[in-house]
Structure 1
Amino acid sequence: MTRSIAALIMAAGYASRFGRCKQLTQVGGKALLQHSIDSAQAVCPGKVFAVSGAWHEALRKAMHSEELRNVILIYHPDWSEGLGSSIARGVTGIGSHVDGILVLLADQIAVTAEDLLPLRRKFTGDNIVCSVYAGSRGVPAIFGRSSFGKLRELSGDRGAKALLYDEHVPVVECPLDHASIDVDTPEDLHRWVTTRDHAYGLEARRKCV
């Protein structure tokens, strides 16, 4: 049986350390947020949502200009309360018509569709499937409907990490080293792009040998 899964991308923060709208910063010809949208679309086609907040107007205008595509914005006016509050707003906005919700961060730039597909394959509808990186559980993670109530109760800056250790719900781990890479500053982004391009160059030369 195919489970219906919606993706919820967390993109509400101001990103003060970045110095400008991180979500719309161009990476390889498209907005950073669009990279997450495209990856999520491969796993949750037609059901990709993003929680907006500090930069809502900029993101809305980007949708009108089609700089952002294939996403539904859920505006959170109280975005400054923190990540937990934003997750709760997003889950409430999606509703309970899906079997699961894939939660991921907009700035996990290295996460690809290929990384997310194993999470979907391991999701049964009554479990939680989470990424494991740097020795800890985290997002991206898929939460079944039985966890929606607890997600809606999150508040402040407390994210969903505690739910990933819920003893009352089966939790399946999925190694995902790419999830450990996030972008907090322009230097972080430059470092990742440089590393990625170097890796692509090595792979291209290897194929030519």
Structure 2
Amino acid sequence: MSAPGEPGERVSAGLLLAAGSGSRLGTPKALVDFHGERLVDRGVRMLREGGCRTVVVVLGAAGTPVAGAVVVHNPRWSSGMGSSLRAGLEAVPAEAAHVVIALVDQPFVGPRAVRRLVRAAGRGASVAVATYAGERRNPVLIAREHFAEVARLATGDTGARPFLRAHAGLVVAVPCDDVADPADIDTPDDLDALRARPS
């Protein structure tokens, strides 16, 4: 096995998309306090504890320092997730063989789901998607050889979905029902409901 930093090591990076204004929530989701921790910090911790050596955070509507991450500002954040995904992929360090893409508004997707995707890459998957009850959700792992096409197809608010549809045969489904929950925060009611659950 290669030691950290040696040639041949498959280094993982994380990419946290956190640029939106949270229009239905009334505040940028990145800054929301959730059980004593901002959602952006929770997302960075998830990716790092899940095995990502470097974490890139894409911000837009709200700028803020984020410990333990490379922060990228997307001036086109209002055009949708696609522009944030492109900005984030451009910032993934060259040594990373793949990236785990996560969303800031899913606080119960934790490190164990990320680890499963990283392990799938170690077994040869170039595209892996967390599934819940058989449905593809997040996080998503993409190998570097696909970055350019993912970025080209990411328009508006679609993110990686067009690429995943175009290359269904590459996608390895990684069941995560037992370790994560993809419930997201879009409205104040969503936030209240998830805050009422144990962390």
Q: Calculate the TM-score normalised by the size of structure 1.
A: 0.82
State the identity as a percent: 29
Shift of 1:45: 4.5
* AA in 1 matched with 2:37: K
Q: Following TM superposition, by how much is the alpha carbon of 1:74 offset from its aligned partner in structure 2, in angstroms?
A: 0.7
User: Contact 2:131/2:176 (CA < 8 Å) preserved in 1?
Assistant: yes
User: How big is the alpha-carbon RMSD for the aligned residues of Structure 1 and Structure 2?
Assistant: 2.0
Runs (5+) with no aligned partner, structure 2: 2-8
Q: Could you tell me which residue of structure 2 aligns to residue 137 of structure 1?
A: 136
Give the count of matched residue pairs: 188
Structure 2 Cα separation of the partners of residues 196 and 134 of structure 1: 22
After the TM superposition, which of the residue ranges 158-167 and 34-43 deviates more from structure 2?
Answer: 158-167
The 8 Å contact of residues 125 and 172 in structure 2, kept in 1 or not, is answered as no
Partner of 2:13: 6
Single out whichever of 10-19 and 131-140 deviates more from structure 2.
131-140
Equivalent residue runs for 1:162-181 within 5 Å: 162-167=162-167, 170-177=170-177, 178-181=180-183
TM-score in terms of structure 2 length: 0.85
- 3-state SS of 1:180 partner: coil
Distance in 1, Cα, partners of 2:129 & 2:52:
20
Q: Partners in 2 of 1:152 and 1:167 — Cα distance?
A: 14
Higher share in helix:
1
| Range with bigger deviation, 113-122 or 94-103 | 94-103
Whether the 8 Å CA contact 2:134–2:175 is kept in 1: the answer is no
Q: Name the CA distance, whole Å, in 2 between partners of 1:15 and 1:155.
A: 19
Using the alignment, how far apart are the partners of 2:62 and 2:39 within structure 1?
A: 14
Say which SS state the counterpart of residue 86 (structure 2) adopts.
helix
1:59-208 equivalence runs, <5 A: 59=64, 63=65, 68-124=66-122, 127-133=126-132, 135-153=134-152, 154-167=154-167, 170-177=170-177, 178-196=180-198
The residue number in structure 1 matching 2:38 is 31
DSSP 3-state at the match of 2:106: coil
Encode CA deviations 1:114-160: one digit per residue, 9 max, x unaligned.
22111111114651111112543232011011211112212222210
Query: Hey, what's the Cα distance between the residues in 2 that align with 1:137 and 1:143?
Result: 14
Highest Rg: 1 or 2? Answer: 1
